[in-house]
Chains A and B, each alone.
Chain A
Amino acid sequence: MTPAFLIFFITGTLIVACSILVVAMRNPVHSALFLLLTFLCVAILFVMKGAEFVGAVQVLVYAGGIMVLFLFVVMLINVKMLPDEKVLSAFWKGGFGVGVALFVIFLTIVRPGVYHAPVANADAALKSVVTPTGKHRRHHNPDGSIYRTRLVRRETPGNSEAVAMALYNDYLVPFEIASLFLLVAMVGAIVIGKRVLGAYEEETNPDFILEKVETEKEVKEAMSA
């Protein structure tokens, strides 16, 4: 048993246990904290597979951003009014059946030895940036003709640089669409979550006070007439 496998085993056990606890906990605050632990363990797995940048994004965005959002909402909602879970109802058992069936399907698909071994230089490929140099090399065919191949420069600065080059060269349009998506999501969240002008705001609103005074004046005139 190698140290890498030991780390994987411990993290994997933690992930499965914390995922089950996320589903099982009644209080959403406890669920959120176990979800946080799950995300951190998944980040460890990412780093073990050579995905340092994705691991860092996982910690920053998931553990730092999304979990804080969840905890904010949990604090806004009255915990005393939790819905009663229909434990051991027929629906509940059906849900478990669907989960177990899906897991069995995964087990039948993923058996040891289904996938080939990683390509020879997988770790280096995830860290390297390939840039064309603009120069060509001439090759001579046996029949005397000449063909050219582009010369590329291969550097291995690290995983973050390699992901950045892929993101800004090959996936530039999806990247920009993702920024548009985030803008739309932000505007949508603000519009949906905006509070309708409530009772307190209405009473302190100048228009409301003026209207109230005029209504009282009309009522007095009607009474005296």
Chain B
Amino acid sequence: MPDVPPTTEAYLLLSGTMFAIGLVGVIIRRNMITVLMCIELMLNAVNINLVAFSHLLGSLEGHVFAIFVITVAAGEAAVGLAIIIQLYRLQSTINVDDARELNG
């Protein structure tokens, strides 16, 4: 069965672009909330890959792992945002560069 036009390669390129954009955001942004959003972007790019390969191979493992990735993303967002709120209470800043003292 030939691959119909939105091919697996097109999906992989799209997810690669999304992952690279997310990585650039994680590196260059100083706003902690935006950095967390860029991490979500990268996790979502990986999910696109998993679903595309799942369709290519005709197996459901990719879907299951995509659901696990979404679970991990939810937990990571909750804990990360709690840390950001606590840092804002303590130091009145959400700048990544200001969060260099680990003793609170």
Contact = CB atoms under 8 A, between A and B. Distances in A.
Given A99-B27, A110-B9, A76 B33 contact: no
B92 A42 contact: no
A117 B60 contact: no
Contacts of A85: 28-31
Interface in A56-70: 57-58, 61-62, 65-66, 69-70
A96 B23 CA distance: 9
A188 B20 CA distance: 30
B54 A31 contact: no
Interface in A13-72: 15-16, 19-20, 22-23, 25, 28, 31-32, 35, 38-39, 42, 45-46, 48-51, 53-54, 57-58, 61-62, 65-66, 69-70, 72
A11 to B, nearest CB: 9
B78 interface: yes
B34 A28 contact: yes
Given A16-B14, A189-B79, A193-B86, A62 B73 contact: yes
A192 B25 contact: no
Interface residues of B, number: 80
B9 to A, nearest CB: 5
A125 B44 CA distance: 24
A163 B37 CA distance: 28
Contacts of A23: 21-22, 24-25, 28-29, 34, 38
Contacts of B55: 49-51, 118, 122-123, 126
Interface of B: 1-14, 16-25, 27-31, 33-34, 36-38, 40-41, 44, 47-48, 51-52, 54-64, 66-68, 70-79, 81-86, 88-89, 92-98
Given A2-B5, A39-B44, A76-B85, 16 more contacts: A4-B5, A5-B4, A22-B25, A32-B37, A46-B47, A53-B63, A81-B92, A83-B93, A95-B24, A95-B27, A102-B23, A106-B19, A107-B16, A125-B59, A126-B54, A171-B64
